[in-house]
Amino acid sequence: MLHVIFIILKIIGIVLGVLLALFLFLVGIILFVPVRYRVYASKYDTIQVKARVSWLLRIVSLRFRYYSEEETYWYCLRIFGFTLIDSNRPTKVKKVKKEKVKKTKLNKHKDKKTKVKKTKKVIASDKVLGIDDQIDSKDKTIEDNDIVYDEIEEDKKDIIKPLQNEHTNIVRNIEEAEEEREGFFSRITKPIKTIFQRIKDIFIKIREGLQAIRNIFSNIKAKIHLIKEFLAIEDNRKGIGRVYAGLKKTLKHILPYKVKGVVRIGLDDPCSTGYLLGALSMAYPIYADKIQIIPDFQEEVLEGQVDAKGRIRAFILLIIGIKLILNDNFKTLLKNVKELKEEL
């Protein structure tokens, strides 16, 4: 019995060990196998852009192409040689036969329903005809009463209208008499008062605008003072230095390690072309062995081609991130940044 139990435990241990080894193998592949990319771009008569991203001996590959002459682009995603996404793949045409059969069945069903409804309407109309004859006699008496009521209302309106007109005429005469009582002095003072009131409103608006501008500048000044105090702390400066160093390493790793290109450049004025070459010479140590610049002092032109290759390893990015997170200066920087946001 114990022998059987030991055999079962041994099998379970072997299975768990195999699964753990597969898991570690997959994690190692994800961390250590780089994602490779290549970009080619050229501009002569037309613009062409080609890009390819691959991983694990091109088991996973993504391609992209763009041609300005045709104004078309193409992209494709493949895994183990099987195309999952292709922008030029034609869409599948659905079968139409099944849809036609469904439509004919629905039309037949609708025709049956309409026939049943028509028969019901005919029966209902026959029943209603007998009731309508009884209602007509009652409607005649109601109409006679309505005629009498309308005549009474018209007599009331004939009596009330002249009284309302007399009242409005009396009110109008009183208002005209009051306007005539206003003297020459009041007619002169009214426009003067309105002018002074408008001038007063303008000064009030100017004062409010100046006060708002003063408040804005005072808030900006207070925020600048808080930022200066934040940067004056040594731990914050060290944390910012660590972030800068991490970003620098990340960019250095992500950017292409191999670049080759030729660029022919020229402006409409030879003097301007010379100034441009002088400005580009300041960055010569960066592109010295990578890009060849050919000046053209005769015509305005910008053409050339660039080919770049690079790779990205998840392990290196993970190490950079872990070092940054575990740094004490970075932790204090995050804490102080939260406090600064609350104060701002």
The last residue of one of the domains, among 92, 108, 131, is 92
Residues 145 and 113 occupy one common structural domain: yes
Structure-block tokens of residue 71: 């104004």
Residues 208 and 240 occupy one common structural domain: no
The answer as to whether 227 is a domain residue is yes
Residues 279 and 292 occupy one common structural domain: yes
What is d(CA 218, CA 284) in angstroms, rounded to the nearest whole number? 45
Question: What Å distances lie between residue 182 and 179, 191, 194, 196, 337, CA to CA?
Answer: 6, 15, 18, 21, 71
The answer as to whether 23 is a domain residue is no
**Angle, CA of 275, 277 and 280, to the nearest 5°:** 115
The answer as to whether 6 is a domain residue is no
Residues 164 and 243 occupy one common structural domain: no
In the chain, what is the straight-line distance between the N-terminal and C-terminal CA atoms, in Å? 73
Helix (H, G, I), strand (E, B) or coil at 194: helix
Given a cut of 70, whether residue 134 has pLDDT beyond it is no
The answer as to whether 1 is a domain residue is no
Residue given tokens 């069903």 in the structure block: 109
The answer as to whether 274 is a domain residue is yes
User: Which pLDDT score is estimated for 265?
Assistant: 93
Residues 40 and 75 occupy one common structural domain: yes
- The pLDDT of 214-237, averaged and rounded, is 91
Structure-block tokens of residue 97: 């036969």
Residues 98 and 162 occupy one common structural domain: yes
The predicted-structure confidence for 72-130, as pLDDT tens digits, reads as follows 889 999 999 899 999 888 765 444 444 554 555 556 555 655 654 555 554 444 444 45
Residues 43 and 116 occupy one common structural domain: no
Helix (H, G, I), strand (E, B) or coil at 38: strand
Residues 83 and 108 occupy one common structural domain: no
The answer as to whether 13 is a domain residue is no
Q: Are 292 and 263 in contact (CB under 8 A)?
A: yes
Residues 49 and 138 occupy one common structural domain: no
**Angle, CA of 108, 114 and 119, to the nearest 5°:** 130
- Number of domains making up the chain: 4
Residues 86 and 110 occupy one common structural domain: no
Helix (H, G, I), strand (E, B) or coil at 122: helix
Residues 242 and 272 occupy one common structural domain: yes
The predicted-structure confidence for 9-24, as pLDDT tens digits, reads as follows 889 999 999 999 999 9
The answer as to whether 189 is a domain residue is no
Q: Are 296 and 270 in contact (CB under 8 A)?
A: no
The answer as to whether 28 is a domain residue is no
Taking residue 274's Cβ as centre, other Cβ atoms within 10 Å add up to 13
Can you give the residue range of the structural domain that contains 293? 234-343
The predicted-structure confidence for 161-215, as pLDDT tens digits, reads as follows 666 666 677 767 676 666 666 555 566 777 777 888 888 889 999 999 999 999 9
Q: Which of 123-127, 151-155, 206-210, 248-252 has the lowest mean pLDDT?
A: 123-127
Residues 224 and 248 occupy one common structural domain: no
- CB burial of 100-130 (b: ≥16 within 10 Å; e: otherwise) equals eeeeeeeeeeeeeeeeeeeeeeeeeeeeeee
Helix (H, G, I), strand (E, B) or coil at 32: helix
User: Which pLDDT score is estimated for 197?
Assistant: 85
Given a cut of 60, whether residue 249 has pLDDT beyond it is yes
